[in-house]
Amino acid sequence: MITSLIAALLVMASSLDTNKITYTDKDGYRAVEQTAGPTLGYSPTSGVKIIEKNGLAFKSFDGSDTLLPYEDWRLPAHVRAADLASRLSIDEIAGLMLYSQQNRLPMANDTYDGKPYIQSGKKAWDISDSQRSFLLNDNVRHVLVSTVESPETAARWNNNVQALVEGTNHGIPANNSSDPRHSAFQDAEFAPGAGGSLSMWSNLMGIAASFDPAMMRRFGQIASEEYRALGLATALSPQADLGTDPRWYRFNSTFGNDPKLVRDLIKEYCDAFQSNSIDDSNWGNGSVNAMVKHWPGGGSGEGGRDAHYGNGKFAVYPGGCMADHMLPFKEGAFKLDGATRQASAVMPYYTISYNQTSENVGNSFNRELITDSLRNGCGYDGVVCTDWVITDDPVDPGKHWSKPWGVETMTVAERHYKALMAGVDQFGGNNVKAPVIEAYEIGCREHGEQWMRKRMEESATRLLLNSFRVGLFENPYVDVENTKRIVGNPEWMKEGYDQQLKSIIMLKNHDNILPIKKKAKVYVPNRKVPAMRNFWGGTDPARDYSPIEKDILDKYFETVDTPDKADFAIVFMESPKSYRAGYDPEDKEKGGNGYIPITLQYRPYTATTAREHSIATDPFDGNTDRSYRGKSVKTMNECELDILESVRRQMGDRPVIVIMAMNNPTVMTEVEPLADAILIGFSVQNQAFLDLISGKAEPSALLPFELPASMEAVERHCEDRPHDITPYTDADGNTYSFGYGLNFQGKINDARVTRYAKQ
C-alpha cells in the first residue's frame, strides 16, 4: 500500500513546476522553504539531514539518504503514524505514552546545570535539569506548559526543546500543550491600538453567557493561532462537563448546565482549534489538537465535592441523567462539522461514576466507559489521556495529590496496566516510563508478547497521528519574530475586549439607575480579603486593596474617598468561597466522618435539609455514610458581605451597584436586597464593567445556569440533573433562571433565548 502511494505521488510531483528551495537561519533553527511543499524546520546541530527527492525537500531524521515512509510528507498522516509506530521500541512507546507534569518557564524551583535557577545565569527559555531528564531519559514527548514569562520565552523554549529531541528517538518532536490561558487580568487597562502579552477574553463561562456559538468559533480561531505562535500544538480543553451541581469547584470552567448550549459551544471550540485556518477546515500546521474533557462528565460529584480530593471521588446520578452529561461529547466534540471530524483527544475525569457500570473504579480504569461506551459506542478512535496523577499511591481524603480512585489497593504498575486494558493511551502527569514498561510486562505474561506489542503500538499510532496532522514532524519550530508580532496584537486585543463586554450579565437595574452617563461622584470601598486556603492546600495571604485602578476609574467618574461625598457607590465582590470544600479533618478527629457542606451563601450555613444518608459509600476510607446533614460551615470571604452591608447603610437612598466576580452560582438572598444594580462577570477587566455602568456599552449576556433561591433548594436538587434548582426571584419580580439577563430596556427576550429555551 505504501509503495503504491509513493509511486502515485511521485507521478503527481513530476508534473509540478520546478520546486524552489530556500534555506534561512532563524532564531534557534533553520527554515527550509519550498514552493511545492511545506516549510521544513530543523536544527543544524541535531544530526537531521535535508534530502531532496524528485526536486522536493524532506527531513531525514537519522541523517541517511534514505527517505522512510514516516518522513514523507506526501503520505497521509495515518500511514506515516503507523509506519513510525512499528519502528519504535517498547521503551520509546512507553515514553510517548507519558504526559508531563506542569512546566513553568522558568522552572524557579528546579536546577539548571546543577544550580538553582536564580544562581544559574540561565534564561527563562533554557531547559532545566528535570526537563532534560524526562525528555532524554524517559522519552517524554508530550509536555504541559503552565506559566510563562512572556510569549518570546515560550517560543524560544519550544525551539530549544525541539532542537534537543530532534536527533533522538526517530526525531519525534515535542507536542507542547496548555490549559486555557486567555482570561483577562482585572486591573489591566484596555487602550484601543495597544497590544498585550496575549489577547484577553473572559473565561469560557463568560463566552457561554453570550449564547453565541459564532463568538466561540472566533475565540478559537484567534486563540489557536496564538497557541501555535507560542509553540503549543495541543489544548487541554475544552471542558465539556455539564455544570449541573453549582457547588463544584470547577463550575466556572464549564459552559453552564444546559446540554444543548454546551454541545453547540463545544463543537465550535473544537472545530476552530483544529481547523488549519479560518478558510480551511482540514488539519495543517495551523491546527491545535483539542483534548476535550472530562468523559463522561465530571459535574455531578456528590454534594458538589471535587474528585481532585478523595472526599469527592464519586459522581452520582440520582436523577438518572448520565446521558445528558455525555451529550456534549457525543453530539458535539465527536460530531464536528469540519473535516477534522472529532476532537483529537479526550480526558476522562477522576471520578468514579457510582453504580453506572459493573465496577466502581475511576473512569480511566473503567473498560465499560472507555472501550465499550467511548470507543465502541461513540466510534471514538482518538487519544484517551487520563487526568493528571491517577496512578500514584493515594493520600488523605482531604489532600490533593494522586487520585487512584477505586484501585487504591493496586500497585502503581497494576494501575497503569488496568488503565491500558480499559482502553487508555496516555498517562497525564507522569514523567517516568518505568511503570508503563512494567505494565507492558504484566500484559506479556497475561496475553503474550505479540498481543501486548500490538496493544502498545495501537496507542503509539494514535499519539503520533496527532503530531503528524498538525505538521510537527515537518516544522516544530516557531519564528520568534512572528510570535512577537501576532500574539496579543491590537486587533485581537480589541476583539477580546469586545467579547468581555458581551459576557457581563446585568441581573438587576432597579428604577433604571443604569446607565450613569454624567460625570457623577463614585465611592469604591477597598476589598478586604482574609487569608484563605487555596485549591492546592496552601494559604493565600490576606489582602486589603483597591479593586480598581484610580487612573481607570477617573476616566469615567469623579472618585471620592468617603460615602458621604458620593452620588453612588460600586462594591466589588467575589462569590462565596466555602470553607475546606466539603471535608474538614477536624470533624474527623472529633469522631465525625469528616464531611461538611459546601455553601453558596456568605453567612454561616447549617445543612438541616441535606440528604440524610449519602448515595455513595467508600470502603477504602471506611465511610459507609458520607452525609453531612446537620453540620455547619462558614465561608472564607464572609467579610465581603460585611462591606456591602456597611456601604448600603452609609449610602442611604443613593444607588449601590454590586459587581460580582462569579465562580459559582451564588444564593443572592443576602446580596440582592442591598443592591440597586447587579452586574456579574467571569474573569473580565474591571474597565468593561465601567463601560456598561456609564452606558458606553450595553449589557447583552444571559445566565447559562440558574442562581439558586436558597441553599435548601441546592440540597433538594439532583446533582446530575440540568435545570433542577429552584431559581431566585428578586424584589423587581425577575427570576434568575437559565437564559435570563437584562439590557437597558429591560428583560432580554431575543432569538438566543428562544433557541435555547428549556424544554
Q: Taking phi first (over 0 means left), then psi (-120 to 50 degrees means alpha), and beta for anything else, what does residue 574 get? A: beta
What is the reported pLDDT for 299? 97
Q: What is the average per-residue pLDDT within 185-202?
A: 79
Q: What is the pLDDT at residue 15?
A: 41
Whole-number average pLDDT of the chain:
93
- % of the chain beyond a pLDDT of 90: 87
Other CB atoms within 10 Å distance of the CB of residue 17 = 8
Query: Across residues 656-684, what is the average pLDDT?
Result: 97
Cβ 69 vs Cβ 76: under 8 Å: no
pLDDT band at 33 (very low <50, low <70, confident <90, very high): very high
Radius of gyration of the chain (CA): 27
Residue 531: per-residue pLDDT: 80
d(CA 741, CA 734): 9
The greatest distance separating any two alpha carbons of the chain, rounded to the nearest whole angstrom, comes to: 85
User: What pLDDT score does 399 carry?
Assistant: 65
Identify the band that residue 620 occupies on the pLDDT scale cut at 50, 70 and 90: confident
Q: What is the pLDDT of residues 464-501, one digit of tens each?
A: 999 999 999 999 999 999 999 999 999 999 999 999 99
Per-residue pLDDT tens digits for 520-572: 999 999 998 888 777 666 777 888 889 999 999 999 999 999 999 999 999 99
Output the pLDDT for position 17. Answer: 56
Mean pLDDT to the nearest integer, 365-390: 97
How confident is the model at residue 14, as a pLDDT?
47
Please tell me the predicted confidence (pLDDT) of residue 680: 98
Domains defined along the chain, listed by start: 490-580+635-755 (3.40.50.1700), 581-634 (no CATH)
Residue 246 has pLDDT above 60, yes or no: yes
What is the mean pLDDT of the segment spanning 737-753? 97
pTM: 0.94
- Amino acid 169: pLDDT: 84
Q: Give pLDDT tens digits for 285-344.
A: 999 999 999 999 999 999 999 999 999 999 999 999 999 999 999 999 999 999 999 999
Q: What per-residue confidence (pLDDT) applies to 11?
A: 45
What is the predicted pLDDT for the residue at 537? 67
- Pairing mode, strands 98-99 and 427-428: parallel
The pLDDT value given to residue 759: 53
What does the pLDDT read at residue 182? 78
Query: Cβ-count burial of 109 within 10 angstroms (0-12 exposed, 13-18 middle, 19+ buried)?
Result: exposed
The strand pair at 605-606 and 532-533 is best described as unpaired
Contacts of residue 59, defined as CB under 8 A and 6 or more positions apart, other chains included, come to 40, 42, 48, 49, 50, 51, 71, 171, 473, 474
Let me know: does 406 contact 359? Beta carbons within 8 Å. Answer: yes
CA–CA dist 178, 102 (Å, integer): 9
Residue 195 has pLDDT above 90, yes or no: no
